[in-house]
Amino acid sequence: MEKFVIEGGNRLEGSLSVKGGKNSILPILAAAVLCSSSEGVELYNIPDIVDMHVMTKILQSLGARVKYKNNTLLVNVEDLQSYTISDELMREMRSSIFLMGPLLARLGKVRVTYPGGCAIGPRPIDLHFKGLEAMGARIKEEKGYIMASASRLQGTEIHLDYPSVGATENLMMAAVLARGKTVINNAAKEPEIVDLQNFLNAMGADIRGAGTETVRIIGVEGLGKCSYRIIPDRIVAGTYLMAAAITGGRLLLKGIIPVHLDAVVAKMREAGVGIEATEDSLEVIGGRLKGVETVRTLPYPGFPTDLQAPIMALLTVAEGNSTIIESIFENRFKHVNELKRLNADISVKGRTAFIQGVKKLYGAEVEATDLRAGAALILAGLAAEGTTVISEIKHIDRGYERIELDLQQLGAKIMRI
């Protein structure tokens, strides 16, 4: 079992560039199933993260051929031999549910199990089902499996009760080969939805409106080969900005899309962090940290729930009080108890966390309970006096490509043991 050992107290300094986003590559890999061309798709800027490998393993189990080298992925799904995702693979990653839409569209049927529990609370998939059913899919449960079928999906108008990222993506992928026009109202507006639209259109789909609350898809007969470069990971970028800020350091983050981080930069500035932006970079220039009245997680363009734990780490050492409201997930405060082991002063009531800034964090043994909680603990460890040992770092590897190497390059004392 690997662990991170961090000797805290070093200012981070230097520059980094950020690779493609986990939340882009997972739906895009699912969408690759829609390409029946013998030449397949070529994807660039692909991060070497565990979740990406799990998704390619799932595609291979369905009959795809996949090659990964130098952050480039070649995916050929000319022969699709199976419409069943095994329970074992479904349990490995929630995002396997993204394959429902594309498999239904391409093969007319799909068999999956429920993606299972999740450390950040219940994550229902009712909106995915409702949308697929509105497009004519029959969905039933059979011996623990969910079986969906439709000879050809039918375009329709769908109103999502909540702008779910995954449901919007699943329904977009289902609709690209459907008969006629599909309109998704109250769609999620995350940049990764735009990335998915651009990828699908590069394969020959006809989609407009991603990034707004209405996505319109006109069904086409088939999709073909394409080469596509995915967008940089805004959550990794935000994590690194906060890592620099919590150490009072200086970091130039290159190759990013700063506008994707507007809400994050605004809150960090409110917390006293100096940040300068250019068209494709953000630079953190230290600053004396102060508490912020409220950070409320919201669907994009609001403050992302995936950076809630990291900003909490930052605010634990800010002067004064801060409040964080988690409005997306029911139970996303598992990092609180771990941060408290490092001397953070935090109390939680329902979905609100109250943070009283402390002068110092002190190293301790902690556990990464999930991906972003793990990132928050690294940040806290970088600022803490003494040694912090983080266990269960497999969660961190799901979404950060060898995070310790990037941080070491900036002068952090962090080791994987």
Contacts of residue 352, defined as CB under 8 A and 6 or more positions apart, other chains included, come to: 323, 324, 325, 326
Of the pair 96, 343, the CB lying nearest ligand UD1 is at 96
CA pair distance 209, 20, nearest whole angstrom: 22
Least distance to ligand UD1, CB of residue 124, Å: 4
350: left (phi over 0), alpha (psi -120 to 50) or beta: left
Tell me if 280 sits within 8 A of 258, measured CB to CB.
yes
**Is the omega angle on the peptide bond into residue 102 within 30 degrees of 0, that is, cis?**
no
Read off the amino acid at residue 120.
I
Least distance to ligand UD1, CB of residue 236, Å: 12
Of the pair 12, 311, the CB lying nearest ligand UD1 is at 311
CA pair distance 259, 40, nearest whole angstrom: 32
Least distance to ligand UD1, CB of residue 213, Å: 14
Of the pair 235, 383, the CB lying nearest ligand UD1 is at 235
Of the pair 278, 331, the CB lying nearest ligand UD1 is at 331
Residues within the interface to ligand UD1 (CB under 6 A): 23, 26, 95, 123-128, 162, 164-167, 188, 192, 305-306, 328-329
What distances in angstroms separate CA 344 from CA 60, 87, 246, 310, 339, one per listed residue?
A: 44, 39, 13, 13, 6
3-state SS assignment for residue 311: helix
CA pair distance 403, 143, nearest whole angstrom: 41
Least distance to ligand UD1, CB of residue 158, Å: 12
CA pair distance 119, 338, nearest whole angstrom: 14
List active site positions.
Answer: 118
If DSSP states are collapsed to H, E and C, what string results for 209-265? CECECEEEEECCCCECCEEEECCECHHHHHHHHHHHHHCCCEEEEECCCHHHHHHHH
Least distance to ligand UD1, CB of residue 276, Å: 27
Of the pair 124, 411, the CB lying nearest ligand UD1 is at 124
Tell me if 416 sits within 8 A of 409, measured CB to CB.
no
What distances in angstroms separate CA 354 from CA 103, 267, 310, 322, one per listed residue?
A: 44, 16, 15, 6
Least distance to ligand UD1, CB of residue 256, Å: 18
Least distance to ligand UD1, CB of residue 118, Å: 8
Of the pair 291, 374, the CB lying nearest ligand UD1 is at 374
Contacts of residue 143, defined as CB under 8 A and 6 or more positions apart, other chains included, come to: none
The first and second tokens of residue 97, run together, are 């549910």
Of the pair 193, 223, the CB lying nearest ligand UD1 is at 193
Residue from 171, 147, 148, 149 nearest 159 by CA: 171
